[in-house]
Amino acid sequence: MAEVVVVGSGPNGLAAAVIAARAGLSVRVLEAQEQAGGGSRTAELTLPGFHHDVCAGAHPMALASPFFRAFDLAAHGVELLAPTVSYAHPLDGGIAGLAWRNLESTVADLGRDGPAWRALFAPLVERWPDVVELAMSDLRHPPTRIPTAVRFGLRLLEQGSPLWNKRFHDEVAPALLTGVATHAITVPRALPAVGAALLLGTLAHAGGWVIPRGGSQAIPNALIAELERLGGEVVTGHRVDDFAELATARAVLFDTSPAEFLRITGDRVPERYRHRLSRFRYGGAACKVDFALSGPVPWAAPGADLAGTLHLVGTRAEAMRAEQQVAAGRFADRPYVLAIQPGVVDATRAPAGQHTFYTYAHVPNGSDRDISETVIAQVERFAPGFRDLILATHVRPAAFMPAHNANYVGGDISAGAMTLRQTAFRPLARWNPYSTPIPGTYLCSSSTPPGPGVHGMSGLHAAGHVLRTRFGIVTDPLDLLRGATPSYHRAR
């Protein structure tokens, strides 16, 4: 058995595995699915030659995450393509808010709300690495960049309170911001949702929401190639059902949901911890609908055709209403639909002249309903004629999400409800959120800080703790990624 075993091959698990291997440890990754990558897989879901991202499709953190900046995806063969417009938010009447990579272009488009957008984002864009450091921390240590933390906090409180409409005059700018907040699958004025909006909105103007050439699978493939170069291995098609098979490893990291961790560890976990962890809440879910299209989406709004990502829900008030319905366990008549059109930058995703189109809609947790017709209607609302382009459709209702990724309990792609408590204390209110009562056993999934997203930071934080406490390695994990030699505070 390897010194370090990682259960699950999502970006966090692979990040932890690469760091451990860079420290000179033997590493094995066990993946239940036949294809590694967790939420960053790519597959031909509709027709031959149409390559669809199974979950994550656009990657704001791929250029910004401290883990990926140190790992250097480009140096490992991943080509990250940045659309001219990071994201768009169409409204009725053939208009759309456009978040250009260039902040000033966005300001110019927003008319009289442009200066308010600049005032909101310019101080954050100017210090974007500090914003990322704040948001991607383990949430257990005070921020090191106090001015940025204050700026971020003030904007968080404004947009997370009844003041959220005060700075804007028209419909477009607040809708543009709310569309990003709604990524969190919770009411968009909740503080965790606003935090996501400020982080992702900042990154939209600080490098963009990039799309990997060929598909999101390129990211885990690069991590796996590096792990194998260092002597580690990834075993696919290997479902772990009993912790006994892992017990000889010096450290085991679970890139899994708390529910999956409890299933595997069984009665080895003390009853009190099991009871607390079993109360971890899973939130609103997604019904994923992928399309093979005969041509590009015919957006009514100029500029929407340049966007990699689009938020289809309408006004800020409509987004709030739709998310409130989902939070109450109901289906929205006009749900929030997140759409990605990789063909705006990547012609390799489909045969010449044709396109893949990625969507998911927010639905109640555990829903087995196929809502593809509702999704098509919401796209048609902003792109009349869309239906005529559809060659094939692939639908995965929320209830079937766990079959391809056990971390998505009930279809919750955030791996845990994004409540204020479960953002600050994820998965439990304890000083070290990665450790468990089983010696040498840790959690490192998106159910731990800093939460969901393809950033590798949960794996990095957990791996740093493992190296220090189990192996006596005190070198910063980011320095290991940059080629530093591990140093020890005691003999191995």
CA distance 66 to 489: 25
Q: 269: alpha, beta or left, given left = phi > 0 and alpha = psi -120 to 50?
A: beta
Bridge-based pairing of strands 4-7 and 27-30 is parallel
Give the model's confidence band at 319: pLDDT under 50 very low, under 70 low, under 90 confident, else very high: very high
pLDDT bin (cut points 50, 70, 90) of residue 144 is confident
DSSP labels for 192-221?
HHHHHHHHHHHHHTTT--BEETT-TTHHHH
Whether 251 and 442 have beta carbons less than 8 Å apart is answered as yes
Complete edge-to-edge strand list for the sheet that includes strand 441-443: 233-235, 27-30, 4-7, 251-254, 441-443
Q: How many helices (H) and strands (E) does the chain have?
A: 17, 16
Residue 188 has pLDDT above 60, yes or no: yes
- Residue type for position 262: L
Q: Provide the 10 A C-beta neighbour count for residue 370.
A: 15
pLDDT digits (tens, 9 = 90+) for 36-65: 999 999 999 999 999 999 999 999 999 999
**Number of residues that make up the chain:** 492
pLDDT digits (tens, 9 = 90+) for 201-248: 999 999 999 999 999 999 999 999 999 999 999 999 999 999 999 989
Q: Quick one: what percent of the chain has pLDDT higher than 90?
A: 95
Is pLDDT larger for residue 1 or for residue 102?
102
The confidence band for 490, taking pLDDT boundaries of 50, 70 and 90, is low
Which range has the worst mean pLDDT, 3-12, 98-107, 133-142, 405-414? 133-142
pLDDT at residue 275 above 50?
yes
Query: Given a cut of 50, is residue 311 above it in pLDDT?
Result: yes
- Give the model's pLDDT for residue 145: 86
Give the pTM. 0.95
The C-alpha angle with vertex 107 and arms to 105 and 112, in degrees rounded to 5, equals: 140
User: What burial letters (b/e) apply to 261-292, b meaning 16+ CB within 10 Å?
Assistant: bbebbeeebeeebbeebeebebbbbbbbbbbb
Percentage of the chain exceeding pLDDT 70: 99
pLDDT in the model for residue 394: 98
